Amino acid sequence: MQTAIYAPAESIKRQPEVLSELKSRWGLCVVIVRGEDPAAFRIVRENGLKAWWLAPGLWGELDVPAGEEAVFVPIEGADIPAHERRWPMLCPARPELGKRLGSEYATRARNCGADGVLCTHLRYHHPADIHGLWGCVCKAWCAGAMREWGLSPAHLKEALSKLPHAVRLAMAITSSGKRSSGSPAAVHPLAAWWDDLVGGDTFARWFRWRCHTVARLLAQIESTFRGELERPFAINAFEPFMAGAVGQDYSTLVEFSNVLSPLLSYHDIHFVQSLSNLASWLSTWAHAPNGLTAQAIAHVIGVRCDLEDRKKVTLACLEKAASAARALQVRFWPTFRALSCPPAEVRAYFEAASALGAELIVFQGVDALLEHGTYPEWY
Smallest separation, CB 126 to Zn ion (Å)? 19
User: For Zn ion, which is the closer residue by CB, 136 or 300?
Assistant: 136
Angle at 330 between CA 132 and CA 240, to 5 degrees: 30
Contact 316, 303 (CB under 8 A): yes
Smallest separation, CB 352 to Zn ion (Å)? 39
Contact 256, 235 (CB under 8 A): yes
Question: 93, 112, 130, 321: which one contacts Zn ion (CB under 5 A)?
Answer: 93
Question: 18, 19, 91, 278: which one contacts Zn ion (CB under 5 A)?
Answer: 91
Distance CA 176, CA 153 (A): 33
Question: 28, 51, 55, 136: which one contacts Zn ion (CB under 5 A)?
Answer: 136
Q: Which amino acid is at 220?
A: Q
User: For Zn ion, which is the closer residue by CB, 72 or 250?
Assistant: 72
Question: Smallest Cα–Cα separation from 314: which of 286, 277, 340, 353?
Answer: 353
Residues ≥6 apart with Cβ < 8 Å to 234? 116, 117, 118, 119, 257, 258, 259, 261, 333
Contact characters 33-72, Zn ion, x per CB under 5 A: ----------------------------------------
Smallest separation, CB 135 to Zn ion (Å)? 7
Contact 11, 375 (CB under 8 A): yes
Is 122 exposed, middle or buried, given 0-12, 13-18 or 19+ CB atoms closer than 10 A? buried
Among 50-58, 91-99, 183-191, 223-231, the segment contacting Zn ion (CB under 5 A):
91-99
Among 133-141, 157-165, 229-237, 312-320, the segment contacting Zn ion (CB under 5 A):
133-141
Paired residues of 117 in beta bridges: 53, 233
User: For Zn ion, which is the closer residue by CB, 10 or 69?
Assistant: 69
Q: Does 124 bind Zn ion (CB under 5 A)?
A: no
User: For Zn ion, which is the closer residue by CB, 26 or 141?
Assistant: 141
Q: Does 97 bind Zn ion (CB under 5 A)?
A: no
Among 44-52, 138-146, 284-292, 369-377, the segment contacting Zn ion (CB under 5 A):
138-146
**Distance from the Cα of residue 52 to its chain's centroid:** 19
Smallest separation, CB 171 to Zn ion (Å)? 35
Contact 118, 55 (CB under 8 A): yes
Over its C-alpha atoms, the chain yields an Rg (Å, rounded) of 21
Among 6-14, 90-98, 189-197, 282-290, the segment contacting Zn ion (CB under 5 A):
90-98
Question: 64, 75, 138, 166: which one contacts Zn ion (CB under 5 A)?
Answer: 138
Q: Does 73 bind Zn ion (CB under 5 A)?
A: no
Longest dimension (CA), the chain: 63
- What are the residues binding Zn ion (CB under 5 A)? 91, 93, 136, 138, 141
